[in-house]
């Protein structure tokens, strides 16, 4: 596909696109072009219409490093080679990569990709996803759908690491999460999925916490991107709790006294007993409130048990 466009400097980009643009033998013509923002990697984002349909134009021209156009071309290959199963479902439909490389010294090599318009970022910070309530879903549903999408991206079906899972790249389109910006994405053989070999796409979406229960190993979620993402959205499912430099598996803790007695044995000199007890109670309450996430087969939650230090001392003087 060819793109006829001169780019003498940044200030003329908007004017040149509006004047005409992305137009070639395939009769792709843009109208109602509006500049949105400039992103890193020397990419310029525009809103436009083509054949009456809203599209996003991601445009760049050759920079000093010579990396902007190759990165855009790489992103187009990711859409074609990996993301087709998600087009229009959880990632934008890909409408083509257009490039222009003229022998005319007055013309700069430039390129763009055309994508389906898929809404705006749902939140400004990933930690807000838990309480985000879209137009069609209740609280946590959008967050859980986003988790399912990120897990699916890492699954053997797609096999992709996004490399930039931040709030600006998670859009709300008609109540569904859509991921964008795959310029840094790469093939990914996810260790978390290897640890949970019984997981398949047919198990998704799945009840909250169940995927993590299957993926979680003694060393935590065996994938750096998934682990960082789960921390960023503040998903309440740590595999262990840490006190005074020691870690204890959440699944093994059944009461505040369990944790308190472990701490007291390990670190008797550094904190008063009452302070250790209060910390143990706080952590136990977090574990207890998420009991069914740690114990997937549990029918009922155990009682919270003793949380008052004086009451504990009466039983364990």
- Beta strand 43-50 pairing with 94-100: unpaired
- In the predicted model, is pLDDT for residue 108 greater than 90? no
Tens of pLDDT, residue by residue over 210-221, are 555 555 555 556
Tens of pLDDT, residue by residue over 51-98, are 888 999 999 887 777 888 999 999 999 999 999 999 999 999 998 888
Residue 208 has phi, psi (to 5 degrees) of -55, 130
Least confident of 104-108, 274-278, 284-288: 104-108
CB 121 within 8 A of CB 167: yes
Tens of pLDDT, residue by residue over 185-194, are 999 998 877 6
Tens of pLDDT, residue by residue over 249-271, are 777 888 888 888 876 665 555 67
CA atoms within 13 A on the CB side of 300: 3
Confidence of residue 158 (pLDDT cuts 50, 70, 90): very high
| 132 vs 17, residue with greater confidence | 132
What is the rounded average pLDDT of the residues 27-33?
A: 74
Pseudo-torsion of CA 295, 204, 226, 217, nearest 10°? 30
The predicted pLDDT at position 239 comes to 65
Tokens of residue 103, six digits: 């022998």
The predicted pLDDT at position 213 comes to 56
Tell me the DSSP string of 174-198: TTEEEE---TT-EE---HHHHHTTT
3-state secondary structure 207-240: CCCHHHHHHCECCECCCHHHHHHHHHCCCCCCCE
The predicted pLDDT at position 21 comes to 38
The predicted pLDDT at position 30 comes to 78
Say how many Å lie between the first and final Cα of the chain, rounded: 81
What is the rounded average pLDDT of the residues 224-241?
A: 75
Q: What percent of the chain has pLDDT over 90?
A: 28
- In the predicted model, is pLDDT for residue 178 greater than 90? yes
């Amino acid at each position: 596909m060819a793109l006829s466009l001169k780019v003498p400097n940044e200030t003329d980009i908007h004017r040149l696109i509006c004047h005409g643009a992305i137009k070639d033998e395939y009769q792709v013509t843009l109208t109602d072009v509006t500049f949105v923002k400039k992103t890193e990697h020397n990419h310029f984002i525009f809103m436009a219409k083509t054949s009456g349909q809203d599209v996003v134009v991601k445009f760049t021209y050759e920079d000093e490093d010579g990396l902007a156009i190759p990165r855009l071309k790489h992103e187009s290959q990711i859409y074609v080679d990996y993301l087709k199963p998600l087009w229009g479902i959880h990632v934008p439909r890909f409408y083509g990569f257009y490039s222009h490389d003229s022998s005319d010294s007055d013309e700069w090599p430039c390129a763009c990709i055309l994508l389906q318009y898929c809404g705006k970022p749902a939140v400004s910070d990933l930690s807000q996803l838990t309480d985000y309530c879209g137009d069609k879903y209740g609280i946590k549903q959008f967050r859980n759908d986003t988790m399912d999408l990120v897990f699916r991206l890492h699954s053997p079906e797609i096999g992709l690491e996004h490399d930039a899972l931040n709030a600006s790249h998670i859009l709300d389109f008609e109540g569904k999460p859509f991921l964008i910006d795959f310029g840094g994405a790469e093939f990914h053989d996810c260790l978390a999925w290897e640890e949970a070999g019984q997981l398949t796409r047919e198990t998704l979406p799945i009840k909250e916490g169940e995927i993590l229960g299957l993926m979680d190993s003694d060393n935590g979620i065996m994938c750096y991107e998934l682990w960082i993402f789960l921390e960023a959205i503040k998903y309440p499912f740590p595999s262990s709790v840490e006190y005074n430099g020691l870690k204890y598996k959440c699944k093994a803790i059944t009461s505040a006294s369990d944790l308190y007695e472990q701490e007291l044995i390990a670190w008797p000199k550094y904190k008063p007993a009452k302070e250790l007890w209060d910390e143990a109670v706080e952590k136990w309450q977090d574990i207890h409130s998420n009991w069914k996430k740690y114990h997937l087969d549990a029918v009922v939650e155990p009682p919270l048990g003793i949380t008052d230090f004086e009451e504990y001392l009466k039983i364990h003087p």
